[in-house]
Amino acid sequence: MTSKLRTVWALVIAVLLAAGGAACAKARAETIVLEGPPLQVPEPPSRVLVPVEELVSTPLAPEPEPAPVPATPRTPPRPTAEAKPQPAPPPAAAPPVPVAEPRDLRTASPANADSERDVREVLARAARDIVRVEYGRLSADGRAQYDQSKRFSAQAEQALKERNLIFAATLADKAATLAAELLGR
């Protein structure tokens, strides 16, 4: 009786495997063929590209609007015996863009001297605070914050050398804030 039972179970398993294998077969998508001519894609509008060097060195001025390009129909009209097609006029060339001499935008002024002095004061405060911090007692996050404050100070010094006062002020403020947080202020 056990051999009959095993045979029945083997037969049931074989049927289930056969049915499951047929269910997993991949279906193939049908390709639908559309009849008719392909779509006509209109030509892109003409553009004048200016090299990057000219954009950087030219003063900002409003650019003239390009002439509107007439829309082309999807299918060309059929010529009649009376009308003859005329060639399209060539596109007009854009006038050359005048190249301006590069200017030095960083001029010395009392306001710049005051800004530099303010940045140096913030950097000095950050340096005083960071010296008072005991590096050995800091946690891993505190050490990362300490190192970040020193990096901000160094970057602010470099920005001052490059006369980038706005960036230097931002970096100095970040360095001072991190140093003050380490002291628990």
pLDDT by 10s per residue, the chain, length 185: 688 888 988 888 988 888 777 666 666 777 777 777 878 888 888 887 777 765 455 555 666 676 666 665 566 656 555 555 566 666 666 666 666 555 444 544 556 788 889 999 999 999 999 999 988 888 999 999 999 999 999 999 999 999 898 999 999 999 999 999 988 85
Q: In b/e form, how buried is each residue of 158-168, taking b as 16+ CB within 10 angstroms? A: ebbeeeebeeb
Phi-psi region of 163 (alpha: psi -120 to 50; beta: other; left: phi over 0): left
- Look up the pTM and report it: 0.42
